[in-house]
């Protein structure tokens, strides 16, 4: 029976390939599994050429301490709609001497699954001092810093910061990307709606709060919505795939 099912599946692939003109198993897989279809995505730097990349999940400087499953190249991908909106953000901020630095964009479901395996291994705390020093590892999952699904996998969410082109360095945001704590919240030491700075002992400075708001305001002007607990995280309001969690790998797409 098992051999029969394998034979049937192989026949189905060949039939679909002949009917659709597909010339590769990858194209056939896209027909069978929409989560593997990257045709509506673009490589961000093809749309925003001056964007800088610091793809943390391709390397080891991240809260897991390892390259994430599915990150085959240090590139950033987004849906076409999100990338076009990001280009508008870039053009806007360029007039003020900034360019965008991207930490992460589209994230395959297989990487999210990798996060979950890490979260369930409570003995692995190698990166605790750098990303969650005030939380037990169990709290990282309980407080939803890591979850079974991520908006990133829908293809229209991005993590980013600002780079000061005149000074030649990252803008000081007063915190580290992927820091698990209230210090990462956009309303930490201030009100994002009124832009009123509210000093807290040991908190970020007024300049650091203002820098976060510059990024936030530009993203919101061009159709992105912020997240309550991460100053670097934004999702396109009218995302084209609100219910699809893609799983194709992160690598440069052909133009």
Torsion of CA 164, 168, 172, 176, to 10 degrees: 110
Q: How confident is the model at residue 144 (pLDDT cuts 50, 70, 90)?
A: confident
Could you say which of 72, 183, 196, 230 is catalytic? Answer: 230
Would you state the structure tokens that stand for residue 166, as one six-digit string?
Answer: 């005149």
Active site residue 230: yes
Q: Strands (DSSP E) along the chain, which ranges? A: 41-43, 52-53, 77-79, 98-104, 157-164, 169-170, 190-191, 196-197, 224-227, 230-236
Residue 7 has pLDDT above 90, yes or no: no
Residue 160: beta bridge partners? 102
Residue 118 has pLDDT above 70, yes or no: yes
CB 156 within 8 A of CB 240: yes
H/E run at residue 117: helix 109-120
CB 118 within 8 A of CB 68: no
Average pLDDT, the chain: 90
Would you state the structure tokens that stand for residue 89, as one six-digit string?
Answer: 């953000």
Which residues, other chains included, contact 202 with Cβ-Cβ below 8 Å and sequence gap of 6+? none
Single pTM value for the model = 0.88
Q: What is the pLDDT of residues 15-55, one digit of tens each?
A: 444 444 554 555 555 558 999 999 999 999 999 999 999 99
How buried is 254 (Cβ within 10 angstroms: 0-12 exposed, 13-18 middle, 19+ buried)?
exposed
Residue 227: strand, helix, or coil = strand
Which residues, other chains included, contact 173 with Cβ-Cβ below 8 Å and sequence gap of 6+? 161, 162, 208, 211, 212, 215, 231, 232
| Residue of 129 and 31 predicted with greater confidence | 129
Q: What is the pLDDT of residues 212-250, one digit of tens each?
A: 999 999 999 999 999 999 999 999 999 999 999 999 999
CB 253 within 8 A of CB 43: yes
Q: Rounded to whole angstroms, how far apart are CA atoms 221 and 175?
A: 23
Q: How many CB atoms lie within 10 A of CB 74?
A: 16
Predicted pLDDT at 18? 47
Would you state the structure tokens that stand for residue 203, as one six-digit string?
Answer: 């908190």
């Amino acid at each position: 029976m098992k051999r029969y099912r394998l034979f049937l599946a192989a026949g189905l692939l060949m039939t679909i390939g002949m009917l659709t003109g597909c010339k590769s198993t990858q194209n056939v897989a896209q027909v069978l599994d929409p989560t593997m279809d990257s045709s509506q995505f673009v490589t961000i730097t093809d749309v925003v050429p001056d964007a800088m990349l610091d793809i943390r999940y391709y390397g080891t400087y991240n809260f897991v301490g390892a390259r994430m499953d599915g990150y085959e190249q240090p590139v950033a991908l987004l849906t076409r709609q999100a990338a076009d909106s990001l280009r508008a953000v870039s053009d806007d901020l360029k007039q003020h001497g900034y360019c965008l630095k991207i930490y992460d964009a589209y994230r395959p479901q297989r990487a999210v699954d990798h996060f979950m395996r890490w979260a369930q291994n409570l003995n692995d705390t190698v990166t605790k001092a750098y990303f969650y020093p005030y939380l037990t590892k169990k709290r990282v999952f309980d407080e939803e810093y890591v979850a079974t699904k991520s908006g990133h996998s829908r293809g229209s969410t991005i993590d980013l910061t600002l780079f000061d082109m005149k000074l030649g360095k990252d803008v000081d945001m007063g915190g580290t990307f992927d820091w698990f704590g209230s210090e990462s919240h956009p309303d930490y030491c201030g009100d994002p709606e009124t832009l009123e700075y509210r000093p807290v002992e040991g908190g970020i400075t007024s300049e650091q709060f203002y820098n976060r708001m510059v990024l936030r305001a530009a993203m919101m002007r061009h159709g992105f919505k912020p997240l309550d607990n991460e100053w670097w995280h934004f999702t396109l309001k009218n995302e084209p795939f609100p219910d699809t969690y893609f799983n194709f790998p992160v690598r440069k797409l052909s133009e």
